């Protein structure tokens, strides 16, 4: 029976390139519709759909080669389900596993929900069987199996993305959580492939030393490219998978950190557009948490050159929570970094963006909580000059958030210990707020802070207040002098104009008299 079926199948010669890449004879089978792939696309003007290499012996994998039409569409002439694992002897299950993997290399077009419904369901069920097989595997995966697993995963996941970055949609005052995320129509299959990959990486039967030949730097780079997907479900899976790869494949750790750095550099200094910055930072937060002490120099360079500049982009709100966690982890591990971090925040401190300023104040409080007195003293002068400007902000949320710093016991203690330096810097801002800030909450909080300083050191408070009043008087005198000077200049300019007009009229009258 098998020979009869084989005799009816057309024979196709494989391409040399396919043979070299996959180690066998392969024919090219088109993927689906508009889903492009990095594995292979036609030239401009030819087929715009991807092609995936699959085994020649199509009977063994349960489907026949697709018939390509001139317009680039495809029709699967036969795509049949394979037997279940429980229906074959244990000795044959690995071969069946490989056949099922090859069956799932076909990628269908999900932009048309009415197309290939039967085949899509067969593939979905097959993928679920593959997930179950990997989960319950009780023997190390062989080299051939590892190769087929990575090939199948690559065929399904690695495709070109045309994202509309969320950062482009950031509008002042818009609640981004209410925005509907863009969902990939192929998710019914993609989700199972991601789950399959996750369980494969996490499986104790996956030998990292053997698998690193296939889960290589190229594979990781393509995985990182997918972080720009608009679908949050995909990014969530990618985050977990990449973290598991980092944990299991120690040989790839430096490369993963470097590759993530490159994504950040491109985002900060070139595009400011990427959908997966928050997820990548979440992975890094866990990695930083595991850094050994003392911190390596390369990790400190990462903080200075990557994490701190990430405060620059306008779309900071999309990933600030994760970024703040990473920054705080560094300061908690090495308190000597606090001075550099605080000065970095001051360097990128927003001037006209009030909501961003509130985020900076939130992060500043977390950093200051982990800051020790010696580091605090190094940066307190420029820091409290900035805080004083925040206290006088006309945006009540900025002023209110700055005043809330005094509610933190650790920060309050740092301020009290250094009050002789800090109070002269901020008392002008406190006095101006107490006199005429338009917001009642800010006004009340300001009076509370004034009272803290007065109760703590009345003599210092009166001294600073007197100095402020003297400076204010001098400033008023200077303004009065400036106004007087400008008034004199205006009068002189008026007289000069008047005299020039008289001179012109005199010359005209003399000219008229001589001509007469």
- CB half-sphere exposure, 491, CA atoms < 13 A: 6
Q: pLDDT tens, 73-108?
A: 344 457 787 888 888 888 888 999 999 999 999 988
- Give CA–CA dist 126/82, Å, rounded: 8
Backbone conformation region of residue 389, classed left if phi is above 0, alpha if psi is from -120 to 50, else beta: alpha
In this predicted structure, which of 45-59, 71-85, 352-366 has the lowest mean pLDDT? 45-59
CA distances from 499 to 234, 427, 492, 507 (A): 81, 51, 10, 12
**SS3 assignment, position 34:** coil
Helices (H), 291-418: 297-302, 320-333, 338-347, 354-369, 373-391, 396-403, 409-417
* Per-residue tokens: 45: 């003007």
Q: What integer is the mean pLDDT of 145-149?
A: 95
The answer to whether the beta carbons of residues 200 and 149 sit under 8 Å apart is: yes
Buried b (16+ CB within 10 A) or exposed e, 83-97: eebeeeeeeeebebb
- Beta-carbon contacts of residue 172 (< 8 Å; ≥ 6 apart): 355
- Give CA–CA dist 243/108, Å, rounded: 29
Helices (H), 67-174: 93-103, 117-135, 143-157
pTM score above 0.85: no
Whether the predicted pLDDT of 193 surpasses 80 = yes
Judged on CB neighbours under 10 Å (0-12, 13-18, 19+), 67 is: exposed
Q: What integer is the mean pLDDT of 217-239?
A: 95
Q: pLDDT tens, 418-429?
A: 999 999 999 999
Of 224, 209, 301, the C-alpha closest to 255 is 224
- Beta-carbon contacts of residue 479 (< 8 Å; ≥ 6 apart): none
* Sign of torsion over alpha carbons 384, 390, 392, 398: negative
Higher pLDDT, 514 or 57: 514
Q: pLDDT at position 184, please?
A: 82
- Per-residue pLDDT band for 333 (boundaries 50, 70, 90) equals very high
- Cis peptide leading into residue 103 (ω within 30°): no
- Give CA–CA dist 107/113, Å, rounded: 14
Q: pLDDT at position 474, please?
A: 83
Q: pLDDT at position 498, please?
A: 65
3-state secondary structure 443-504: HHHHHHHHHHHHHHCHHHHHHHHHHHHHHHHHHHHHHHHHHHHHHHHHHHHHHHHHHHHHHH
Helices (H), 164-316: 187-202, 208-211, 217-225, 232-248, 253-266, 277-289, 297-302
Of 83, 82, 75, the C-alpha closest to 103 is 82
CA distances from 91 to 88, 203, 207, 431, 470 (A): 8, 21, 21, 84, 94
- Per-residue pLDDT band for 115 (boundaries 50, 70, 90) equals confident
Torsion of the alpha carbons at 50, 54, 59 and 65, rounded to the nearest 10: 30
- Give CA–CA dist 59/493, Å, rounded: 100
- Per-residue pLDDT band for 224 (boundaries 50, 70, 90) equals very high
- Give CA–CA dist 505/211, Å, rounded: 100
Higher pLDDT, 478 or 500: 478
- Per-residue pLDDT band for 367 (boundaries 50, 70, 90) equals very high
CA–centroid distance for 314 within its chain: 12
Judged on CB neighbours under 10 Å (0-12, 13-18, 19+), 110 is: buried
Judged on CB neighbours under 10 Å (0-12, 13-18, 19+), 349 is: middle
- Per-residue pLDDT band for 473 (boundaries 50, 70, 90) equals confident
The phi, psi pair for 192, rounded to 5°, reads: -70, -35
Q: What integer is the mean pLDDT of 463-474?
A: 86
């Amino acid at each position: 029976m098998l020979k009869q079926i084989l005799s009816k199948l057309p024979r196709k010669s494989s391409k040399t390139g396919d043979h070299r890449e996959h180690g066998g004879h392969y024919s090219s089978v088109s993927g689906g519709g508009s889903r492009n792939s990095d594995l292979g696309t036609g030239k401009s003007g030819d087929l715009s759909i991807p092609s995936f290499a699959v085994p020649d012996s199509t009977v063994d994998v349960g489907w026949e080669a697709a018939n390509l039409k001139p317009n680039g569409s495809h029709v699967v002439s036969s795509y049949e389900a394979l037997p279940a694992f429980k229906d074959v002897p244990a000795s044959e299950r690995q071969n069946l596993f490989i056949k099922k993997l090859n069956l799932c290399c076909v990628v269908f077009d999900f932009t048309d929900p009415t197309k290939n419904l039967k085949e899509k369901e067969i593939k979905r069920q097959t993928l679920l069987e593959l997930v179950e097989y990997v989960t319950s595997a009780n023997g190390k995966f062989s080299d051939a199996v590892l190769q087929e697993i990575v090939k199948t995963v690559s065929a399904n996941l690695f495709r070109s993305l045309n994202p509309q970055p969320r950062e482009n949609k950031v509008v002042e005052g818009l609640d981004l959580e209410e925005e509907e995320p863009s969902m990939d129509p192929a998710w019914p299959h993609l989700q199972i492939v991601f789950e399959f990959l996750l369980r494969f990486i996490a499986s104790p039967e996956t030998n990292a030393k053997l698998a690193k030949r296939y889960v290589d730097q190229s594979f990781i780079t393509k995985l990182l490219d997918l972080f720009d997907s608009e679908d949050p479900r995909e990014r969530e899976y990618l985050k977990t998978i990449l973290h598991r790869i980092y944990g299991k494949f120690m040989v790839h750790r430096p490369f993963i950190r470097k590759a993530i750095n490159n994504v950040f550099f491109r985002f900060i200094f070139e595009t400011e557009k990427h959908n997966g910055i928050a997820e990548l930072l979440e992975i890094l937060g866990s990695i930083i948490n595991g850094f050994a002490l003392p911190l390596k120099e390369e990790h400190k360079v990462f903080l200075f050159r990557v994490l701190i500049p990430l405060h620059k982009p306008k779309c900071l709100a999309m990933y600030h929570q994760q970024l703040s966690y990473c920054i705080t982890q560094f300061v908690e591990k090495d308190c000597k970094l606090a001075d550099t971090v605080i000065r970095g925040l001051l360097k990128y401190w927003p001037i006209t963006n009030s909501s961003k300023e509130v985020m900076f104040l939130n992060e500043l409080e977390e950093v200051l909580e982990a800051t020790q007195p010696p580091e605090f003293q190094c940066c307190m002068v420029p820091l409290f000059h900035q805080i004083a400007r925040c206290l006088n902000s006309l945006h009540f949320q900025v002023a209110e958030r700055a005043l809330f710093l005094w509610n933190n016991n650790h920060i309050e203690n740092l301020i009290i210990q250094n009050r002789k330096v800090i109070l002269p810097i901020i008392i002008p801002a406190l006095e101006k707020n107490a006199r005429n800030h338009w917001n009642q909450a800010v006004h009340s909080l300001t009076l509370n802070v004034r009272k803290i300083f007065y109760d703590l050191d009345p003599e210092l408070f009166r001294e600073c207040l007197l100095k402020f009043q003297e400076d204010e008087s001098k400033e008023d005198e200077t303004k009065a002098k400036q106004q007087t000077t400008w008034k004199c200049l205006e009068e002189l300019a008026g007289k000069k104009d008047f005299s020039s007009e008289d001179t012109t009229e005199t010359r005209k009258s003399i000219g008229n008299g001589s001509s007469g």
